[in-house]
Structure 1
Amino acid sequence: MTEFFRPTRRGLLAGGAAMLAMPSISYGQSDVVKIGHLTPRTGFLGPLGEFAVNAATLAAEQINAAGGINGRKVEMLFEDSVNPQTASAKAERYIQRDKVACIVGEINSASALAIGQVVQREKILFINTGANSDALRGSDCRRYMFHTESQNSMMVRTAGRAILEQGLVRGKKYYALTADYAFGHDLLRVAKRFLGENGATVAGEDLVPTELTDFSPFLLKLRQARPDVVICNLAGAQITNFLKQYSEYGLRFPIAGFGFDTALAWGAGTGNFLGTWPVVWHHLVDTPSAKAFTAAFRAKAGKPPENQGWSDYTAMRVIAQSMNELKSIDATKVVEHLEKGAKFDVLKPREGYFRARDHQLMMEMYAITALPADKVQNQFDIFSSSAAIPGPSESLEAIASTPEENVCNFPS
């Protein structure tokens, strides 16, 4: 049994003392708690989906080793969500045929919205682990949908603090490249608000098709526009391809990204990772639970986890801890429990909690900056990190959207 699930005085880790004290039991088919996992395993988001699956599998194994959920074994069901229509259909099948206790996952914002509509109708818990759109916490919020992934406002303000300090915002011209789907459109809206409020002006902007692999036309535009900074609002394999080709073209304009996953930098290859980016977590976070997760994931997958893996792992821990504390898998009871401000070890210096008004996990984040090539020691440790943001004296809500910026009215 790993140290993740040792009981603490406050019962923060999955299961708590009561679960760990349970006698060993013989699991039968009727003694399982089914959790449905949905996330892209193919397409431009596929590389992230594999980290999500590996992390959720690891979490389930550790939960079961610690006694399961209320003495019942966790059984994971995995499906490739592919697109919003498929995500909706598979979510319905999970609930109606497989009788899952909850659904975990997703990365695509449009697919997360589709799943959110299903779980709201069926009154089943869904924890979104990868979709960032502010709208999912605002105009499209659902009472049975929670978010361990950060919203776009948190991503923009985290990276924004760093590039403000680097002198890349005030009085500067930016060129934005944005993924042409729901996530990208929402991120661009939030990014333009931040940049405009802080004195930056637009040198150019383009929407980029999600399956595009050749960035030559856009790189030529950048060379001609000569911006002070390139703002990268891309997603998935787009980022990997863009960084590779940016280096090949020999462009030297500073890069800053407002949406990011570290696996995409690893995929770009040695020497191709550039700029400053926000992450919800990274494998170098120095807390006991973060180190233990990183070691366990590395032993299982042969590489460190990245932020998407962290999110799915954290969601599983939240579910197990909550259901064990409640001694119930009832979705409505779990929703109410989370809305009351239950605290969780989220593998960072401070505990996290879900904000009642929009179900966003309130937590610290990090701004990472690419190391110079001569400082890179291996293929994974390729960046330096800021201290946790917000700082220890700030509210965890300091980087999140305000009620005025993002209104959520949960449907009945």
Structure 2
Amino acid sequence: MTSTGPNAKTGLTRRTLLTSTAGLAVAGTIGAPAILQAQSARAQSDVIRVGHLTPRTGFLGPLGEYAVMGVTLAVEEINAAGGVLGRKVELLAEDSVNPSTAATKAERMIEREKVAAILGEISSASGLSISQVAGRNKTLFIQTGCNSDELRGKSCNRYMFHIEGSNTAYVKAVGQALLRDGMVKGKKWFGLTADYAFGHDLLRVTKKFAEDNGGSFAGSELVPTDASDFSPFILKIRQAKPDLVVSNLAGNQITNFIKQYNEYGLPFPIAGGGFDTAAAWGAGSDTFTGTWPCIWHHTVQSPSAQAFTQAFIKRWGKPPENQAWGDYLAAKVLAQAMAETKSTTSDTIIAHLESQAKFDVLKGREGYFRNWDHQLIAEMYTITPKPKAEQKDKWDMLLLGTAVPGAGEDLEVIQPTKQENACTFT
């Protein structure tokens, strides 16, 4: 499939083999197939092919577009710096669509296109299907947007690594702010949950956090992923009169809910277990409210974070969303691991990542991958609405909290423990 969208403007799309005039003449002879195969093999050896799968349509589509922009910029920078091991990186970027299609495309990328690794994905269900293909084919998969604890637990896979944070990490990160503000012990929560794997898993983690800290759920509703009218759910919230409304929604569900909730003018505060910056931008500064966890934001004040932000703005005309950070980082981590191991072989790279090699993750502290579940261990944050008087433009509407865990604390404080989320690689 020919790539479309932002990456179609670069030289980083899937290419067809271009033969010379002489080659075309030879193609008419008996020896043409062998010659063309040899030419194709030489062309492939000149580049390192990397697959990228992420949803470009549906309720996760807006995030997928940022993912493509992030990985495209990373590959452009890698190639401008000389590539990896003296070879250019060729990006094969496609819409993953759904779990079944994602698996089919991953299989083709590995078997036919001979990619060295696959990056991307946002849907946890599609991430699982890609990981199963990657595992069978012993090919590295670095996922950048799947939050489900199950992917790091009973469905973990030696060939899958996680840039994106788990649901447990998101809940524990925002939970620190809720505990600080007295919104847990003795409080009644009402949950709205996206009715698919990610949402179900996030609801489980959120309920556990509330119960472990003296809170309880006054109500809980599953919301279809294609729902656009939240009024029936908001009326149930009004009847329940909770102390806190907890969002376990995803993608543009969050934007639609916040907008409609604001129209009803209910007094109950909102917090979220999962969040993407695009949802706040979609809601707008006049509507956005609540306390939310955040894995990265373009106002993070590390030198590398600001360099990435400026490069992204120059390339795409707007600041990077947190999903853009994840896919950008995945490409940079892969390139660094290949350079440090002098190899493009999945097993060699995996061994290097499992050694807890350090990476600049565009935050205050370096990150590393935990060797028993392959989770990237790094800081997270919380965000709240920024006072309008302090906003510089339409993107500058979020106030970034201090890093969680705090300075001097172990980075694994907010991560699932082995008891919470056992992973056994086969």
Tell me, yes or no, whether TM beats 0.5: yes
Tell me what 1:161 maps to: 176
1:248-303 CA distance string (max 9 Å, x none)? 11122100001000011101123111000011100000010000000011111111
The answer as to 2:157 corresponding to 1:149 is no
Q: Which residue is equivalent to 1:59?
A: 74
**2:254 aligned with 1:239:** yes
Question: In the comparison of the two structures, how many residue pairs are matched?
Answer: 385
SS state of the match for residue 393, structure 1? Answer: coil
Residue 138 of structure 2 is matched in structure 1 by 123
User: How far apart, CA to CA, are the structure 1 residues paired with 2:159 and 2:102?
Assistant: 16
Q: Give the letter for the 2:306 counterpart.
A: K
1:223 deviation in Å? 1.1
Shift of 1:201: 1.3
Return the letter of the residue paired with 1:129. Answer: T
Cα distance in 2 for partners of 1:351, 1:245 equals: 39
Aligned to 2:222: 207
1:245 and 1:35 map into 2 onto residues whose CA distance is 41
Structure 1: 4+ residue segments shifted above 2 A = 27-30, 371-378
1:287 aligns with 302
Distance in 1 (alpha carbons) for counterparts of 2:306 and 2:390:
22
Task: Map residues 368-387 of structure 1 onto 2, 5 A cutoff.
Answer: 368-387=383-402
Alignment match of 2:379 (pick from 361, 364, 367): 364
In the other structure, the counterpart of 2:116 is 101
1:30 CA drift (Å): 3.3
Q: RMSD of aligned C-alpha atoms? A: 1.1
2:357 counterpart (315, 328, 342): 342
Tell me the equivalent position of 1:256: 271
**Letter aligned with residue 81 of structure 2:** A
Write the distance in 2 (CA, Å) between the matches of 1:71 and 1:177: 50
TM-score by length of 2: 0.89
Match of 2:32 in 1: none
Hey, what's the Cα distance between the residues in 2 that align with 1:293 and 1:223? 43
* Alignment counterpart, residue 202 of structure 2, candidates 187, 200, 203: 187
Q: In the alignment, residue 285 of structure 2 is paired with which amino acid?
A: T
Tell me, in whole angstroms, the C-alpha distance in 2 between the residues paired with 1:252 and 1:263. 24
Whether 1:170 and 2:185 are equivalent positions in the alignment is yes
Say yes or no: does 1:32 pair with 2:47.
yes
**1:79 aligns to what SS in structure 2?**
strand
SS in 2 for 1:404: coil
SS of residue matched to 1:52:
helix
Scaled by the length of structure 1, the TM-score of the pair is 0.92
- From 385, 392, 400, give the equivalent of 2:415: 400
Task: Measure the CA separation in 1 of the matches of 2:374 and 2:200.
Answer: 22
Q: Does the 8 A contact of 2:190 with 2:237 survive in 1?
A: yes
SS in 2 for 1:213: coil
C-alpha displacement of 1:29: 5.0
Counterpart AA for 1:224: Q
Larger Rg: 2
User: 329, 333, 356: which one pairs with 1:314?
Assistant: 329
SS of equivalent to 1:143: coil
What is the alpha-carbon distance in structure 1 between the residues aligned to residue 316 and residue 293 of structure 2?
24
* 2:14 alignment partner in structure 1: none
Taking the aligned partners of 1:376 and 1:296, their CA distance within structure 2 comes to 22
How far off is 1:98 after superposition?
A: 0.6
Aligned to 2:90: 75
Give the SS at the match of 2:222: strand
Query: 1:373-412, CA deviations, whole angstroms, 9 ceiling, x for partnerless residues?
Result: 454442111121211111121111110000001000112x
Structure-1 residue corresponding to 2:292: 277
Q: Deviations over 1:174-221 (max 9, x none)?
A: 100000000001101111100111111111100100110000100111
Of 367, 370, 375, which aligns to 1:352? 367
State which of 220, 234, 245 in structure 1 corresponds to 2:235: 220
Q: Contact 2:156/2:425 (CA < 8 Å) preserved in 1?
A: yes
The residue that corresponds to 2:125 in the other structure is 110
Residue 407 and residue 29 in structure 1: after superposition, are their counterparts in 2 closer, same or farther (change >3 A)? closer
Q: CA–CA distance in 2 between the matches of 1:305 and 1:145?
A: 25
Q: Deviations over 1:339-366 (max 9, x none)?
A: 0111000000110000000000000000
Q: Is 1:268 aligned to residue 291 of structure 2?
A: no
Please name the residue that 1:7 is paired with.
none
Q: Distance in 1 between matches of 2:47 and 2:75?
A: 12
Counterpart Cα distance in 2 of 1:371 and 1:319: 35
Q: Report the 3-state secondary structure (helix = DSSP H, G, I; strand = E; otherwise coil) of the residue aligned with 1:174.
A: strand
8 A Cα contact 2:254 2:279, kept in partner = yes
Alignment of 1:126-137 (within 5 A): 126-137=141-152
2:154 is aligned with 1:139 = yes
Displacement of 1:28: 5.4
Q: Which runs of 5+ in 2 are unaligned?
A: 1-41
